[in-house]
Structure 1
Amino acid sequence: MKSILITGGAGFIGSHTSLLLLEKGYKVFIIDSFINSSDKSLERISAILKKQGINIEDRLYFIKGDLRKPSDIEKAFEMSFKFKNPIRAVIHFAGLKSVYDSVKDPLNYWENNINGTINLLKVMEKYSCKNIVFSSSATVYRTQANKLLKEDDICEPVNPYGNNKLTIENILKDIYKSEPSQWRIASLRYFNPVGAHESGLIGENPMGTPNNLYPRITQVAIGKINEIKIYGSDWQTSDGTGVRDYIHVLDLAEGHLLTLDYILKENPQILTLNLGTGKGTSVLEFINTFETVNKVKVPFSFVERRQGDNAFVVADNSLAKSILNWIPNRNIKDMCRDGWNWQLKNPNGY
């Protein structure tokens, strides 16, 4: 039974990935500060697994901590040694994640995301754990009109959040070059994670007013927000609204498991992979699908474009498919149905 540390494991993507790891028999150590997550997600994970007849009493361990404090990270490693099952690998989700907030308060983002990651890597080295899957983002790319983004395309972030992600990728590349026979590293660039677990027990729980499209759609549909503001109606797309690659959070979580299995089985190496569906959906198409699938109305209005936005951001996912044998199986309708199920069962989040 392999022990895995998940930083930010109580968050949106982290909780779904933690659930799948536990279903597969891993021992999971989670460290989370609850800055933008909830401890209730861990209770919900336990409830889902209990319904499946899976006992995780000795397989899920939680440390409330902050990656800016190395001692908090060391607690997880010391705990795993105590159980004589040392942590084999880390999946690193933890970090601040709002593009908008990163523009308003860049120093806070650099302090949390970069310093926290450096501390994590130092502790990993101390405990001879040199396997990591990093949660990166498509925000690192310089986008091009109507062109699928490939891993070797030019990276040129337009906001501090994207700069943070690319900086961490570069740190990981430097670490790999320093010991290429030791490190197994994967940076996963996701596109737009949406949806929720089909049980409706875990899902996205944005703190404050959500900035991303999907949680705003569900909050408008349930009456917490009056309308969606669509940023721009004159993009060079089929209907004038921005096109994005939306991926179901469970497909994304499955991509993490396959990546983890791959790097642990293969020789030391460094990988960079896109995790997206390869299919673009415009904002209006997404809203229309959500209304049709869930039989609700989502009022919207158009406002000016936001600085740093792009017309078309869609993945070329062929590399992840070929290396991992990974295929995203859930479509836009599934994402709309599962996310709405979560929102209905949890109108105020956790």
Structure 2
Amino acid sequence: MAVLVTGGAGYIGTHTCVELLTKGYEIIVIDNFCNSNPEAVKRVSKITGKDFKTYHADLLDKDRVEAIFFENKIDAVIHFAGLKAVGESVAVPLKYYQNNVTGTMNLCEVMKQHGVKNLVFSSSATVYGTPDQVPIDENTKLNALNPYGRTKKIIEEILHDIYRSDQTWNIAILRYFNPIGAHPSGYIGEDPSGIPNNLMPYISQVAVGKREQLTIFGKDYPTMDGTGIRDYIHVMDLATGHLSALEKVQSSGGVEAYNLGTGKGYSVLQMVEAFEEVSEKTIPYKIAERRAGDTAICFANPTKAKNELGWQATRGIHKMCEDTWRWQQKNPNGYTTTEYQNPVHNDAAVF
């Protein structure tokens, strides 16, 4: 079975590609590399010992997408491709709507033309905004607070409309919470461009000496230590969640949304402490004012995914920190680190 993975060179995309190849799937990757690195897909090949086609292509180029579908027999699509920085989306909202929404519409139109109607879509817990209560289940009102989150919400609505118009589609929408961690090999992991937007890569860059200190936004929340609480999920658990969703869309129709999280919340200071224990490094930090739009407590109710997908997260925060630290130590400068720059043989790669 051949699976097209859009955004397959990205953080979650690469880890999911490893799992797909390990389970015997054939994959075809599309990525425009605007916020990822071609080295990442080479390392996927190195980890798995398998070659696969990788197209340097943009979903906004519909003709190019059509050509890829003509060249390959595709059975299903896992759709990761999209811009994802909340702050940037506020500054340049039109860029986000054009890239994320229009790109997805192009993809779905080409899928329909080629009779490919099995889709797993990478959404986000940002569609919930500030929830009225926790844990958050899939029936929680959607109230995205920024353009990035609203692009995900709009795409979800488009996918529901597609199914209403043609009930031969099979669609799984995955709303995941805070992915962290890395592949246990240390070959692939999160490699943010510039200053990290997320907590864990910032902590690990402080630990490796790349950044001076961590900034914690807000220490006056109504939590056990005053810092915000989030649901952190290991990226490898997230990857297996995509495979479970892929199996689901192959066996039953409809469109369903699933939370992928652990169902447990940890504060910023708890994550700092766990990372210090694993790395044996001290993480200096300073306290700053709360950021607008941040909520005190946010974690998932993942029961639906367990009941309907047969999936649940299995890795705890120390494993998440351990794998993050291994990746950061081996790759202090991300995919530009020279230690792993040996070329990986991949005859099928198309750039």
What count of residue pairs does the alignment treat as equivalent? 335
Q: Conserved in 2, the CA contact under 8 Å of 1:145 and 1:311? A: no
Separation in structure 2 between the aligned mates of residue 145 and residue 174 of structure 1, nearest angstrom: 27
Relative distance call for 1:146 and 1:228 in structure 2 (3 A) is farther
> Residue 76 of structure 1 corresponds to which residue in structure 2?
68
Q: Deviations along 1:46-104, whole A, 9 cap, x unmatched?
A: 11113xxxxx23xx111100111012212321221xxxxx2111000000001111111
- In structure 1, C-alpha distance between the alignment counterparts of 2:122 and 2:332, rounded to whole Å: 28
Q: Give the deviation of 1:145 after TM superposition.
A: 6.1
Q: CA deviation at 1:210?
A: 0.8
Q: How does 1:165-314 map to 2 (within 5 A)?
A: 165-180=152-167, 182-266=168-252, 268-314=253-299
Task: Provide the C-alpha distance between the structure 1 equivalents of 2:236 and 2:194, rounded to a whole number of angstroms.
Answer: 24
1:336 aligns with 2:335: no
Match of 1:92 in 2: 79
AA aligned to 2:282 is K
Please tell me the root mean square deviation across aligned C-alpha atoms, in Å.
Answer: 0.9
- Deviation (angstroms), 1:308: 1.1
Q: What's the CA shift for 1:262?
A: 1.1
Whether 1:66 aligns to 2:66 is no
Distance in 2 separating the partners of 1:170 and 1:44: 35
CA displacement 1:286-313 (0-9 Å, x = unmatched): 0001001110111111111111111111
Q: Say whether 1:133 aligns with 2:99.
A: no
Q: Which residue of 1 aligns with 2:301?
A: 316
Alpha-carbon distance between aligned partners in 2 of 1:293 and 1:283, rounded to the nearest angstrom:
16
Amino acid at match of 1:223: G
Q: AA paired with 2:20?
A: L
- TM-score, scaled relative to structure 2: 0.94
8 Å contact kept, 2:214–2:285: yes
CA contact (8 A) 2:183 2:189 kept: yes
Contact 1:143 1:312 in 2 (8 A): no
Alignment match, 1:347: 332
TM-score (norm 1): 0.94
Could you tell me whether the CA contact under 8 Å between 1:221 and 1:298 is conserved in 2?
yes
SS in 1 for 2:313: coil
Name structure 1 gaps, 5 residues minimum: 51-55, 81-85
CA distance in 1, matches of 2:130, 2:145: 10
For the Cα contact (< 8 Å) 2:302–2:312, is it kept in 1? no
CA distance in 2, matches of 1:14, 1:193: 12
SS of 2:262 mapped into structure 1: coil
Matching residue of 2:13: 14
Question: What SS does the corresponding residue of 2:195 show, helix, strand or coil?
Answer: coil
Q: Letter of the aligned partner of 1:44 in structure 2?
A: R
Matched to 2:62, the amino acid is P
The residue type equivalent to 1:166 in the other structure is K
Alpha-carbon distance in 1 for matches of 2:67, 2:213 = 45
The AA in structure 2 aligned to 1:337 is E
Q: Which residue of 2 aligns with 1:119?
A: 106
Q: Give the aligned residue type for 2:170.
A: R
Counterpart secondary structure, 1:44: helix
Is the CA contact 1:134–1:188 (under 8 Å) kept in the aligned structure 2?
A: yes
Q: For residues 246 and 36 of structure 2, what CA distance do their matches in structure 1 show?
A: 23
Tell me the CA shift for residue 105 of structure 1.
Answer: 1.0
- Tell me, which stretches of 5 or more residues in structure 2 are unaligned? 336-351
Amino acid at match of 1:273: Y
CA distance in 1 between counterparts of 2:47 and 2:101 reads: 34
Q: CA contact under 8 A between 2:131 and 2:140: conserved in structure 1?
A: no
SS of 1:87's partner is coil
When residues 277 and 233 of structure 1 are mapped into structure 2, their CA distance, relative to the original with a 3 A threshold, is same
